[in-house]
Chain A
Amino acid sequence: MAEQNWKENRSSFFASALGPLLWTLVFFIVPMGIVWAYSFGRNAGLTEIDLVGTLDNYKRATEWLYLSIFAKSFGVAAMVTLICLIVGFPVAMAITFASEKWRPWLLLGIMLPFWTNLLVRTYALMMLMGSQGYANKALGGLWGGASWLKTLIGLEPLPTWEPVQLLFNNFAVVFGLVYVHLPFMVLPLYSALDRLDRSLIEASLDLGAGHFRTIMKIVVPLAMPGIFAGVMITLIPALGAYLTPDLMGGTDSQMIANVIERQFKRANDWPFGAALSFMLIYAMFILIALQGLRKKPAETH
């Protein structure tokens, strides 16, 4: 059914539109506008900022140092997304094909962590991954077991177990981001797989394809919109992640959000921070535009 022209029912239109429009204007567009304006400004004194329309901040933001941090953030986010996809796809498959009785509970199992406080989850993971934590203990146990096995077949035992540094490095950042973002990936994948007509899978099996080939040739191509949604929904927040690299990363694993934070909380270079902010936003726009490009040809065939 067609949408109603707003002129036909002005009172209802304004009743519903006024609040959200005004709020978005005052508390979103204006603040973003100020940041945008600041990104062309210059520090003049401790709290004064001159809006001089300079491009210096952007020039500095495109220096190698900052570009490499952008690249690194992107690399980490891409890796996190890939791992989430590989880990999450079978989980989404399992939920889709689970029995009616189990499916809601499996979904809930994926969603409950998503509803749990991010900081609490990060802290829980840090506790486990500390040098005295259980992850290290488990690895130590495996090491000991391997060493014992070696003596069993008459070889030299392994050297004594030294706790590995699991935290405060790039590995910890990727691991932590995967932990946090996995539910984001599974849910869109599940909703795409759930929409898939099962007789398509049966038809493929019926025509002689094995399960693996059916998944690669039928399930994955048809779940592509869901896969892309999952990728975007994981990639974008991972790219702008602040907390995980801040708490779990080492000195060399800061991502772009940490650099932005530093401009505001420590370096006190607001115009430069504003410019970096907008660089990050532009990067998001490019990602979204790329996804839009992919969609178009599929729709107009």
Chain B
Amino acid sequence: MTEAKLPIISIQNITKRYPGAPVAAVDNVSLDIMPGEFFVLLGPSGCGKTTLLRMIAGFEIPTSGTILIDGQDMAAVPPNKRPVNMVFQSYAVFPHMSVEQNVGYGLRIAGVGGDEISSRVREALELVKLDGLEKRKPDQLSGGQRQRVALARSLVMRPKVLLLDEPLSALDAKLRAQMQFELSDLQDEVGITFVTVTHDQDEALSMAGRIAVMNKGEVAQLATPSDLYEYPANRFVADFVGSVNLFEGKLTLDEPDRAAVDCPGLGKVYLNHGVTGSHGSDVWVALRPEKIYLHVPGEGKAIRAAAQDAPEDHNLARGHIKGMSYLGDITLFEIKLDSGAMIRVSRPNLSRHDQEDFTWDDRVSMHWRADSPVVLLS
């Protein structure tokens, strides 16, 4: 990776406005997707992610902006001439054709010879582990198998980019988890760029190389999964990806290597790194539930040491347990702080009896490490 690669897809200032709609479905989006990447467009429904994907495929025409695929402007190129293929949300497997005919459809259209078609179809079906089902009709397949047909049908075309529209949303939870791994492996194996649209953050985090989180037609943040989770750029991303506690506050200390925020809801928050934002400005503090330690007041001294170099009475809160839900691997607590604000804390059940440590209305104290909170400006 010494030489800089050119993006396989370059989206430049793309806007899509539907006639009569008050706001743009996609609003001046620019992003580059690199060859061989597993790229995910993540966002709530109506955020414009599917519209963006369909514009790459050629099914929607952008109102303005340019889409380059492999350096070529796609404005005048109809979908059947684009070097990309799509796996549809409904899979769109042709019901009147067998598995074999479905997978071979694009090759027949392209005028590939009979022998090559059959060998490439066989190869593609092996790749998605459907060999042996060549003669089946789609109505004799399960949902997962139909999806594999759709995958094979696109992969057999050897596209430069494979577009997947909510590929796992129609599968049940177990199968979905399995397919997440399989899709990642498959992408590794074929080396084709994957661009996937999803509203499911777990799916995005587990499969993606990079994720673009979209909100109201704009890209809210573009980052790797761990950066997205640990360093969200704004409240929308912090809240949409994972679960988070958000508190409003004022920046009271702003130095290159440390910072402090005074939150009326949470108390004084200390950070062992610098933040953007100036002294006295209004900010939000984001704190993930799993990054908060929970203990009985007065008993936490030993653990307290782990709070690193935070000054006394910083990164500390007290309250009463108002709600508990036991989820097996973790227990989720809803705690009413003395300030009146609510906070969510999750606690791993490291031993079998951990869930018995706390119960409703217990008084608890909480603390967190100085590198756990994230300060957000918007």
Contacts and interface: CB of A to CB of B under 8 A. Distances in A.
When A and B assemble into the complex, do they touch directly, with CB atoms less than 8 Å apart? yes
B107 to A, nearest CB: 9
B276 interface: no
A301 B137 contact: yes
Given A202-B59, A202-B86, A207 B96 contact: no
Interface in B67-115: 78-81, 84-86, 88-90, 92, 94-96, 105-106, 109-110
B153 interface: yes
Contacts of B95: 200, 222
A205 B80 contact: yes
B157 interface: yes
Contacts of B89: 199
Interface string A201-223: 01111111110010001100110
B153 A207 contact: yes
B2 to A, nearest CB: 35
A208 B94 contact: no
Nearest to A214: B80
A207 B85 contact: yes
B94 A218 contact: yes
A201 B89 CA distance: 14
A42 B5 CA distance: 95
Contact of B79 (A200, A205, A213, A221): A205
A33 to B, nearest CB: 43
B57 interface: yes
A207 B90 contact: no
Contacts of A217: 105
Interface residues of A, number: 18
Contacts of B88: 199, 202-203
Given A208-B157, A218-B94, A202 B79 contact: yes
A208 B106 CA distance: 6
Interface string B154-182: 10010000000000000000000000000
Contacts of B109: 207-209, 213
B157 A203 contact: no
Given A199-B88, A218-B94, A204 B105 contact: yes
Given A202-B59, A213-B109, A301-B137, A208 B86 contact: no
30 contacts: A197-B90, A197-B92, A199-B89, A200-B94, A202-B59, A202-B86, A202-B92, A203-B86, A203-B88, A203-B92, A203-B94, A203-B150, A203-B153, A204-B94, A205-B58, A205-B78, A205-B79, A207-B85, A207-B106, A207-B153, A207-B157, A208-B80, A208-B110, A209-B80, A209-B109, A210-B80, A221-B96, A222-B94, A222-B95, A222-B96
Interface of B: 57-59, 78-81, 84-86, 88-90, 92, 94-96, 105-106, 109-110, 137, 150, 153-154, 157
